[in-house]
Structure 1
């Protein structure tokens, strides 16, 4: 394995020299995301204090190329706006809370968590935010999401139907990875993560469906069926809700304000009817192959216990939390709170089942507040771009995809700590970087990038700051 890794490194170095002056950074960061999704650490990894996989090695090459190009091209100053500084403050605060905590020694796990779930997404954001961007590249981004959605949807359906011969990579059906086996967990081996990506892809498919001729619409209709089937195959309630919300929000600028109100009201009524009529069946849904329906229902009982533990920790560490990545160093102590007549210790082996509570206990009000402000700003910026009359169709689509991404992330995050699911923060920060970049030019982008062209995406002030 080490020999194969050396050969890969040599080949990557040769191709890196050749492509250094030719490759589009926007396409390179997109390749990092796709490779990290399909061929991540479960496919190939070099283990050590910090685990390296193909996508992580490629990420460092991408960042190095980005730095070299920024230093070489003096006509391209990096002018950061308020949202750029906000994301730096958020990731920096997570690091500060990690290294200043008084938690017991936890090895390299908290640092590795910060590197892979905060620092790498931050680098991805900056490459997407400050690299040259054109309408053509945004079209490629949308088509790539569509292709990824078709693959993930069909793979999830094959998992559910146990069609092992057509599933690739093979580790997806490896019984060694027993968690969530029998559901559409995809190459991330997590049905929530798979559903998050399918939600974004479904929104991209619907946007493309509405802008193509009848023949192309047939193909996009098939793609949406595959994605919808994949969403169902996850057998995850939060994914179903998040996918419906993501698709709905991607259409919000295409309907009148009055109709939006009726649509939201109808959705609430429909959700209430489903909860009353089918709530018990949904709660006792058998999902994992090795998990009974009653055990699946019991998992819901853990959520209030985890919330109580989070509350007890928050009372003692309201501003700074217990330190990023150090939750398990403290949760045993707070599970012994005598005033609660609940078996809190049953919940101690589990991560927090809410992304905001996770950031709250780890990094306090400061960290959770910074994250909340970030996602609100990203969603508002996406909405502004989608509603802008000056924005090109590709820019409007990326604004709508930002809305779909934020809504899917947060709705899934109400039931899972999505910040520690592999690749999810990478996608969130990537789409945010594209959105902020597009916003700096009010959605006006060139058709193609020319080598001698000064990129408009970093030379004007952002629309949201005016």
Structure 2
């Protein structure tokens, strides 16, 4: 007799189960703490903390998980081609960094951790850490609370109410980049926009999962996080949020008919925000017409293509582009050189320029076999996972658009993209004895 599928009907607390939070393993709390602490990454010294708490919680979570035999009894990992591609890219980047002297300097090491190692580990461990519905509900609540903080902070920044902004370094023009936009604790508007987008998708799912106060709070966060995306004044994230929302609704049969309503409603909400928030319309209009950042992309991308032409197999070395960019940038006839000490504003070209075409091919393979695979129909024994597929695809769209227009060095957006994909692909990258006994699954077709 087939084991009944786990119901997706929300319960009072939205967990999908009766387990108490007190029984939640320590490693789950460590990974949730990593997500929260990630927002302060690279700025811990300004908070008087000598060592990043996100690093401590991440490696502590990995250690606790490895030492907990019960965690591996429920689910086990299934090796797939994506794992081979990730291992190959990590190995190639590590060898390149060691060979070009960037492995042991802080920038090269943290770039390796934040752009490859931690996101890949999160993807691999997500099916184990968040194997239970109640643990996924805790993740959902964490992202809702995070979206509340980021959304409110974005409003306070836009209104220039600096006395109410926490931490105070957010209001310091000398800290970070892009002062004048909503930057949040990242001190970078693009990271702020991408994080708000992740919270937007998570809060949208939470509205349908939770009841009572959590449901109303989630609905509020949907609006606040969408506002945070708008106030980040980052065009790539704007486009990514629209694309991700449409894709998430397309793969969810029950939501397809609401796509026109969602688009019209979203446009109306933006119009209201522009009319109500002082100075926002002027900022958005100015940002939409900015051309300098476009010229920066032209220059760095052109330099990357020249490197690929000259060094197609090895590139110039892991994160070495900043050191050699002035040797490869050329003056164009129709626009000037505004800045050469910046990274390539296209991650695919960046991988090719720094790791050679083999590195770029491995990076593309990781994406196609990992987050992009969420596009394919999935078979879920737990119906509760259906919504996570939509959340993952939405965030992957935001991340993917931004990859084409930015170096995306930010820890939290990278981590969340791969973590959400690992959850959405639980049936593909992991297995359990219950899966083997059960034939009661939900097959999702486009």
TM-score when normalising by structure 2: 0.77
CA offset at residue 383 of structure 1?
3.2
* Cα 1:44/1:458, change in 2 over 3 Å: farther
* Cα 1:115/1:46, change in 2 over 3 Å: farther
Cα RMSD (Å) of the superposition? 4.1
Which residue number corresponds to residue 434 of structure 1? 423
Which residue number corresponds to residue 363 of structure 1? 355
Does residue 413 of structure 2 align to residue 412 of structure 1? no
Higher relative contact order structure (alpha carbons within 8 Å, sequence separation ≥ 6): 2
Which residue number corresponds to residue 26 of structure 1? 28
CA offset at residue 248 of structure 1?
1.9
Which residue number corresponds to residue 348 of structure 1? 340
Which residue number corresponds to residue 447 of structure 1? none
Query: How far, CA to CA, are the matches of 2:370 and 2:345 in structure 1?
Result: 23
Which residue number corresponds to residue 89 of structure 1? 88
The one of 287, 300, 307 equivalent to 1:306 is: 300
* Cα 1:106/1:306, change in 2 over 3 Å: farther
* Cα 1:361/1:200, change in 2 over 3 Å: same
Unpaired segments ≥5 residues, structure 2:
1-22, 268-280
* Cα 1:383/1:320, change in 2 over 3 Å: same
Which residue number corresponds to residue 229 of structure 2? 231
CA offset at residue 185 of structure 1?
0.7
* Cα 1:439/1:312, change in 2 over 3 Å: same
Number of positions where the alignment pairs a residue of Structure 1 with one of Structure 2: 403
Which residue number corresponds to residue 252 of structure 1? 250
* Cα 1:425/1:178, change in 2 over 3 Å: closer
Which residue number corresponds to residue 414 of structure 2? 425
CA offset at residue 411 of structure 1?
0.8
Unpaired segments ≥5 residues, structure 1:
1-20, 271-283, 443-453
Question: Bigger CA drift: 105-114 or 116-125?
Answer: 105-114
Does residue 370 of structure 2 align to residue 378 of structure 1? yes
Which residue number corresponds to residue 396 of structure 1? 386
CA offset at residue 242 of structure 1?
1.2
Query: How far, CA to CA, are the matches of 1:365 and 1:126 in structure 2?
Result: 25
Question: Bigger CA drift: 105-114 or 81-90?
Answer: 105-114
Aligned 8 A contact 1:154 1:229 in 2:
no
Query: How far, CA to CA, are the matches of 2:94 and 2:102 in structure 1?
Result: 17
Question: Bigger CA drift: 184-193 or 323-332?
Answer: 323-332
Query: How far, CA to CA, are the matches of 1:124 and 1:215 in structure 2?
Result: 30
TM-score when normalising by structure 1: 0.74
Which residue number corresponds to residue 326 of structure 1? 320
Question: Bigger CA drift: 423-432 or 314-323?
Answer: 423-432
- Equivalent positions of 1:147-296 (< 5 A) are 147-177=145-175, 179-210=177-208, 218-255=216-253, 286=283, 296=290
